[in-house]
Structure 1
Amino acid sequence: MIRMGRGSKNDQPESPVQPYNTPTSTPTYQYQSEAVAAPTRAVTDSESMARDIKEGRLSGFVGHGTVLTGETHFQAMLRVDGQLQGSVSSESGTLIVGTNGQVDANIAVASAMVNGNVNGDIIATEKIQLGRTARVIGNIQTPRLILEDGALFEGNCSMVKAKEAVESRAAQADSQGRSADYLSTQSDETDDEEETLFTDSSVDEDEDEDEVKADAAII
């Protein structure tokens, strides 16, 4: 009798067919880092002040927490990081009001750079610069005005009159200089004339003395 069925080979469980994957080579990319220049570090207020002191440009400083009241006069540069009350003046100096500085005074200087608070009028013969943290309540008179984004200014601004005043002072100074040169020239000419007269007088006296001596010799 012939027995029909699966043989021994079929008794074993068939293993699942594994798909054959063709290995693909993954390309390797090498990124070359480009040299990027480091951004320039911003100069802080303290570093700027230290540089001004070292170079001898800073003639006065009102530190944070300091309160001064009265009339303030300076020559080259004055920096205010504290509180200043009264009046501030300088013919050729520059006033710097720091971020924490507060000036409750009328200001008359050559240049003003404001980054803090100013309550009062500002007159500058050269320029006024208001930084982005500046807060100025008062009138401004200057031939040049620089306003950065964020600055707060409330008051009147006069630039034409300031420019005319600067030109008038320059013309007056030029006129005085020409007058001084003219007077100096006149003085030199007068000195030359006096020297010539003195020389001629000396020559005449010498001639008279020679004539007297000649007459005495004849006698």
Structure 2
Amino acid sequence: MMMGIGRSKTNATGKGFKRSSGTVTLIGEGSRMEGEMNSQADIRIEGEFVGSLYATGEVAVGEKGMVHCKELKARDVIIAGKLEGFVQADGFVRITSTGRLTGRIVAGTLMIEQGAIFEGQSLMTQPSALQLQPSETASESAAMLAASTAAGQAPEAAMTAAMAE
């Protein structure tokens, strides 16, 4: 049984669960979706998603879910399955004990449970500094981070400055 994914009344931080609209968009087991998805609702992925995903609510990747994203931006992200790509969360990213994330994370809070696998880079930033609309691509973001590090600038300062533009 997974906690924090589904219809619980508390989120992964133990605080009150903030649903976006009371609805949950489901990509069910055995389903595959490709392209760009924008949602005002929470999203649960038990099947496969390939593309870019933008949600004002929570995105939860279930234990059987697989996500290959150029860009995933949401309020909160919970990963109990597999996710590859760039993830940006205004609130938190939580990788559960069954979760695997390969890629980059920009978030206010990062939680990695024992047994989880995270391979990549993470940047912690103030939630107000993040924008949850489609913006720069993951490759532009990675190039900006690499250039700022090579120039001796703190990565957070570079990311915050770029997001303010």
TMscore range, shorter length? 0.5 to 0.7
| Consecutive unaligned residues in structure 2, runs of 5 or more | 10-20, 132-165
Q: How does 1:1-219 map to 2 (within 5 A)?
A: 48=6, 57-90=22-55, 92-105=56-69, 106-159=71-124, 162-163=125-126, 166=128
- What secondary structure, in the 3-state scheme, does the structure 2 residue paired with 1:121 have? strand
Deviations 1:55-97 (A, max 9, x none): x63331000010000001111200000000000012x310000
Larger Rg: 1
Report if the CA contact (8 A) 2:76-2:93 is conserved. yes
| Consecutive unaligned residues in structure 1, runs of 5 or more | 1-41, 170-219
Shift of 1:166: 1.5
Tell me the TM-score normalised to structure 2 length. Answer: 0.65
Return the structure number with greater relative CO, CA threshold 8 A, min gap 6. Answer: 2
Cα 1:73–1:147 change in 2 (3 A) is: same
Deviations 1:23-72 (A, max 9, x none): xxxxxxxxxxxxxxxxxxx67899x4599xxxx63331000010000001
Q: If each structure's strand is expressed as a fraction of its own residues, which one has the higher value?
A: 2
Report if the CA contact (8 A) 1:136-1:152 is conserved. yes
**Aligned partners of 1:82, 1:133: CA distance in 2, in Å?**
16
Aligned CA-pair RMSD: 2.7
Identity %: 25
**Aligned partners of 2:26, 2:8: CA distance in 1, in Å?**
11
**Aligned partners of 1:70, 1:141: CA distance in 2, in Å?**
22
Cα 1:166–1:132 change in 2 (3 A) is: same
Shift of 1:168: 8.2
Tell me the TM-score normalised to structure 1 length. Answer: 0.49
Report if the CA contact (8 A) 2:60-2:77 is conserved. yes
